[in-house]
Structure 1
Amino acid sequence: MTSPARMRPAHPADHDLAALADAFSLVTSTGAAVTPSLAGVRVTGVTVASNDVEPGDVFVAVPGLRVHGATYARQAVEAGAVAVVTDAVGAATLDLPVPVLLSDDPRALAGPLAATVHARPADRLTTVGVTGTNGKTTTTYFVDAALRAAHPVTAVMGTVELRIGDEGIESPRTTVEAPVLQAILALALERDAGAVAMEVSSHALALGRVAGLEFDVVAFTNLQRDHLDFHGDMEGYFRDKSRLFAPGQGRRGVVVVDDEWGRRLAREAQIPVESVATHVGAPESADADWAVVAADIGLDGVGSTFTLRGPDGALHEAASPLPGLVNVSNAALAVVVAHAAGVPLDAAIAAVGRAGAIPGRMERVIERGDGFPLALVDYAHTPDALVLALEAVRPITPGRLILVFGSDGDRDQGKRPLMGEIAARLTDVIVVTDENPRSEEPAAIRSAILDGVRAVRPDLADVHEASSRTQAIHDALALAHEPDTVIITGKGHEPTQEIAGVFHRYNDRSVLQAAESAARAQRAERHA
């Protein structure tokens, strides 16, 4: 596999365009000089991206923020598209040698159309969708580990990768576009997968990327400040997240009720929901269907154990393979979700407890010893996620806690000083650097973070600034001693860094490994 758009079944279904048009009440546009006939046109795929067209595709031209997709319709036809579906605005600009079909909302149509073209693969798979601000990736990987206890082949789709069985590729976004999603589900089915666990972003829910897919089980982790540049406010953010818990989108749900948004979702969801409380002793634990009633946060930095109370009152001993209370929450949710998806409870608990490392999620890159600190990489990029990450590693840090972090450009600017305040309050040494500046001036982003740092630490004691993220990591490792812990947050698994619209190959883990190698080489040279 080399591209998400190429992850298609080797033996696609073949459909009659006229029958599809009838099924979706699509009418032929008559704006062209000649109106091509639908008769005899065969359809084998669907796409919303003109550069991903394969012969036999229907190209769905959706209105974009800046440019209408119909602008690229001719390019799609030249690549082999046999028809174009668009709205009246897009069709008005087209005169093509293939049928142009009209839809009031082509974006909403893309998912159901692709599902039909690929013979509704999700109907023959066990499907799990996980949403929430923090913990989606970790929970999804934990769920996959449990699903593999019941299904020899599974698929994972999310922020890190798109994987079927043991073969995967980098993921372009948390949730791929609807036609790509349906094609991957069809490919997973073709490769004998029995279950799929996937992350579902709020953007995906707002933009219809999971339209045409009804999940067997949907899950909610939490809702914290993020993506307000897209959703407007927390109410809008919640509204889009809750779309996953609507009839026709999910059959049953599992909701963590540790925050007010989870409790509200559990009350308002229109599908059957099981609640999970993961804060030991919290008031919501008494009424939750499932609750963590005891937790032992391991001081070895590897994981934790906890006791989960089921709906029948029975107690179950379980474990998280990752450190911190936040991962107790993720593990408990995953156990309940997998059980709801048909995995025996004991098998789900055992599988989650031995789940492997997750790229960029509390990922241990350097182990403490031989003069080197413990060094980890974590994706935490919101205020609440940063708090949870720092609180998770503080108990396993005999010395100083050293943080390398930044904040994204072209995203919610209000969180930058908040994250600066958190860093100043919860760490000993700070290295502020760039994350993905995108089109913004990197120094301005760092300045906003430092404003928050100054609110807690006016003298900026033990605060450093580095314009190069690579240099920041080298600096942090040079500052650290063996009892210290270095945690690098914000990018996690990401394989690129976006600066001024250009994507540069970059990965925190690789840079940290290179910094360790350089430090060891320097040490060897000094002692030679």
Structure 2
Amino acid sequence: MNGAPSLRPTGLAGLSWFELLGADVVPVSSTGAAGELRFTGVTADSRLVQPGDLYVAVPGASRHGADFVAEALAQGALAVLTDPAGEERALTAASSPTGLPDGDGAGSSVAAAPVAVLPQPKSLIPLLADRVYHHPAARLQLYGITGTNGKTTTAYLLQAALRAAGQRVGLIGTIGYQLDDRRLESRRTTVTTPEAAELYALLAVLVELGADAVVMEVSSHALVLGRVDGLCFDVAAFTNFGSDHLDFHHDLDSYFAAKASLFTQRRAARAVINVDDPRGQQLIDQAHREGLDEARSVSLDGPADYSAAERRPAGKGRTLISVRTPHGALPATLGLPGEFNVRNALTALAMADLAGIDLALAAGGLRDAVVPGRMQRIPLGPEAPAVFVDFAHTPQAVGAVLATLAGHRRIVVLGCGGDRDSEKRAPMGAAAVAGAELVVVTDDNPRTEDPAAIRAEVLRGAADELARSGRDVTVVDGGSRRKAIAAALAAAGPDDVVAILGKGHERGQEIAGSVVPFADDDAVREVWAERGTP
């Protein structure tokens, strides 16, 4: 987590115990005047507690939240909700007259607090957060995007389209949180979709700041772990499906089932689905069975509700598109290269159309849309190769990026993260060999794993693809990421393209339990500038 505070709305009236928890939930402890409390927030993370919160102490990945009740109360939590497993620890901490030691080792004063116990309090967090933040989702048009690849780009394109149509638009996703061009700094505990309590608080902040709509990346983790429970998206979209996160989902069918759970009446009113993906038609059929009559299809070329009648490069990374829609043809200029980005743009326009947005206005927003770390070109001068930084971190995404750059000698720099889905490492190496002429294998975020061991798995996949395909491709172990970028740039001529994949927008590298500053775009500029020095 970064050092910024968690985002909370201001000025909302606090709720009483009865208003927040209901008449049937009574404290099991006799301490604390529960009826006099006024709650202004809810969280299950003791690190994010703010004065006025209800702290929900539930099991975590390695510890029970009841172990942190004293810390939560010291930070201003008014009461504790826990499960039977945490009851004794919560009662002990909440009844303590001394609380946590202060800086001199003496006990600091923490008032005794009421404790309530329910069988499954974690499942109630979305409901409680929705109540305490005064039902923010009801005052917003919500768009949810899921899929293995393309969520971030589609979200940025949709935000640009909605803004061009005159809306103020919040964005929640991998790159961060923002309203229009304003970045909202916050402590983050998840990569893509916030935990439910923090998500509802963020929605309330966006309402407070004047947002009309919110575009949200919805991860498979969020769907399985209940982070978006209680929300019904006005429009939900599916970008594509590939192998990822099998360390969490264990197999592809479970991973797909998680994605598919967004396309139910409980979670979405309308749907936009990419039917170029083999799983797309399966989702269309499911959506119709679920009663989502407004389920629309997207395809580059095939029969679909939205497709590209024509697409061609327009220079400077732009793409001209003639979009087929149910209302007729629509011309659009996309400020990004690549067929997969055309599909992302079609998805964004279809989502706007289903929400009743003027498509001609929406299409105007695509021309200048910029997505950090997604096919982001790094200009280095007239004699330099074309260099792109992209977040591609699956075999499917690596293949798509390199296919976009066909027609040039392609040099790719890529690695795989540690402590994550190891099964995709060899296939990523194979995808690099299938689409490039020089492959420089490097580190991504090794985390607690041996970087050389991770690179060896990627190199093995590359070697297997070389043997299978017989392609004339050079594959090298580039070592550390900066060295690998330097090697790629040294090998590139002015007519070549260099794709630096895997980290995209990230500004740090996780190595041996620490995050060290590192950004691919900065490294490219620095290495290129150093080439002219002795």
**Given the two structures, how large is their TM-score scaled by the length of structure 2?**
0.90
**Does structure 1 residue 417 correspond to structure 2 residue 422?**
no
User: Partner of 1:366 in structure 2?
Assistant: 379
Q: Unaligned 5+ residue runs, structure 1? A: none
Q: After superposition, where does 1:88-99 map in structure 2 within 5 Å?
A: 88-95=84-91, 96=94, 97-99=112-114
**Given the two structures, how large is their TM-score scaled by the length of structure 1?**
0.91
Q: Structure 1 stretch 299-308 or stretch 49-58: which is displaced more?
A: 299-308
Counterparts of 2:342 and 2:448, CA distance in 1 = 37
Counterparts of 1:275 and 1:293, CA distance in 2 = 17
**Does structure 1 residue 477 correspond to structure 2 residue 489?**
yes
Counterparts of 1:223 and 1:113, CA distance in 2 = 33
Counterparts of 1:328 and 1:410, CA distance in 2 = 33
Equivalent of 1:136, from 138, 151, 159? 151
Counterparts of 1:322 and 1:187, CA distance in 2 = 31
**Does structure 1 residue 115 correspond to structure 2 residue 130?**
yes
Q: After superposition, where does 1:226-245 map in structure 2 within 5 Å?
A: 226-245=244-263
**Does structure 1 residue 322 correspond to structure 2 residue 336?**
yes
**Does structure 1 residue 501 correspond to structure 2 residue 501?**
no
- Give the conservation status (yes or no) of the 8 Å contact 1:368–1:482: no
AA of the residue aligned to 1:276: S
- Give the conservation status (yes or no) of the 8 Å contact 1:305–1:320: yes
SS of structure 2 residue aligned to 1:10? coil
User: Partner of 1:26 in structure 2?
Assistant: 25
Counterparts of 2:351 and 2:164, CA distance in 1 = 14
Counterparts of 1:464 and 1:427, CA distance in 2 = 13
- CA shift, 1:155, in A, is 1.1
SS of structure 2 residue aligned to 1:183? helix
Q: CA separation of 1:300/1:394 partners in 2, compared to 1, >3 Å: closer, same or farther?
A: farther
**Number of aligned positions between the proteins:** 505
Q: Structure 1 stretch 428-437 or stretch 203-212: which is displaced more?
A: 203-212
After superposition, give the CA deviation of every residue in 1:257-298 in whole Å (9 maximum; x if it has no partner). 111222111111223343223231x3xx2xx322333322x1
**Does structure 1 residue 84 correspond to structure 2 residue 102?**
no
- Give the conservation status (yes or no) of the 8 Å contact 1:160–1:493: yes
Q: After superposition, where does 1:403-414 map in structure 2 within 5 Å?
A: 403-414=412-423
User: Partner of 1:7 in structure 2?
Assistant: 7
AA of the residue aligned to 2:255: Y
- Give the conservation status (yes or no) of the 8 Å contact 1:51–1:76: yes
SS of structure 2 residue aligned to 1:487? strand
- CA shift, 1:318, in A, is 2.5
User: Partner of 1:444 in structure 2?
Assistant: 453
Q: After superposition, where does 1:5-84 map in structure 2 within 5 Å?
A: 5-22=5-22, 26-28=25-27, 30=28, 32=29, 34-84=30-80
User: Partner of 1:350 in structure 2?
Assistant: 364
AA of the residue aligned to 2:18: A
Q: After superposition, where does 1:390-401 map in structure 2 within 5 Å?
A: 390-395=402-407, 397=408, 400-401=409-410
Q: CA separation of 1:500/1:508 partners in 2, compared to 1, >3 Å: closer, same or farther?
A: same
Q: Unaligned 5+ residue runs, structure 2? A: 95-111
- CA shift, 1:424, in A, is 1.3
Q: After superposition, where does 1:256-335 map in structure 2 within 5 Å?
A: 256-269=274-287, 270=290, 271-280=292-301, 282=302, 285=303, 288-296=304-312, 298=313, 300=315, 302-312=317-327, 314-335=328-349
- CA shift, 1:307, in A, is 2.5
User: Partner of 1:248 in structure 2?
Assistant: 266
- Give the conservation status (yes or no) of the 8 Å contact 1:359–1:493: yes
- CA shift, 1:6, in A, is 3.0
- CA shift, 1:3, in A, is 5.9
Counterparts of 1:44 and 1:225, CA distance in 2 = 41
SS of structure 1 residue aligned to 2:193? coil
Q: Structure 1 stretch 454-463 or stretch 213-222: which is displaced more?
A: 454-463
Equivalent of 1:339, from 353, 361, 366? 353
- CA shift, 1:517, in A, is 1.6
User: Partner of 2:170 in structure 1?
Assistant: 155
- Give the conservation status (yes or no) of the 8 Å contact 1:319–1:328: no
After superposition, give the CA deviation of every residue in 1:462-483 in whole Å (9 maximum; x if it has no partner). 2221221111111111111101
Identity of aligned residues (%): 40
- Give the conservation status (yes or no) of the 8 Å contact 2:433–2:473: no
**Does structure 1 residue 220 correspond to structure 2 residue 232?**
no
- Give the conservation status (yes or no) of the 8 Å contact 1:151–1:195: no
- CA shift, 1:149, in A, is 2.4
- CA shift, 1:415, in A, is 1.1
Backbone CA RMSD of aligned residues: 2.0
After superposition, give the CA deviation of every residue in 1:170-203 in whole Å (9 maximum; x if it has no partner). 6742111111111111111111111111111111
AA of the residue aligned to 2:83: D
Q: CA separation of 1:99/1:246 partners in 2, compared to 1, >3 Å: closer, same or farther?
A: farther
AA of the residue aligned to 2:232: E
**Does structure 1 residue 174 correspond to structure 2 residue 186?**
no
Counterparts of 2:3 and 2:262, CA distance in 1 = 27
Q: CA separation of 1:448/1:226 partners in 2, compared to 1, >3 Å: closer, same or farther?
A: same
Counterparts of 1:362 and 1:119, CA distance in 2 = 39
Q: After superposition, where does 1:372-387 map in structure 2 within 5 Å?
A: 372-387=384-399
After superposition, give the CA deviation of every residue in 1:285-334 in whole Å (9 maximum; x if it has no partner). 2xx322333322x173512222322235x222223221111001000000
Counterparts of 2:399 and 2:69, CA distance in 1 = 47
AA of the residue aligned to 1:310: T
Q: Structure 1 stretch 100-109 or stretch 54-63: which is displaced more?
A: 100-109
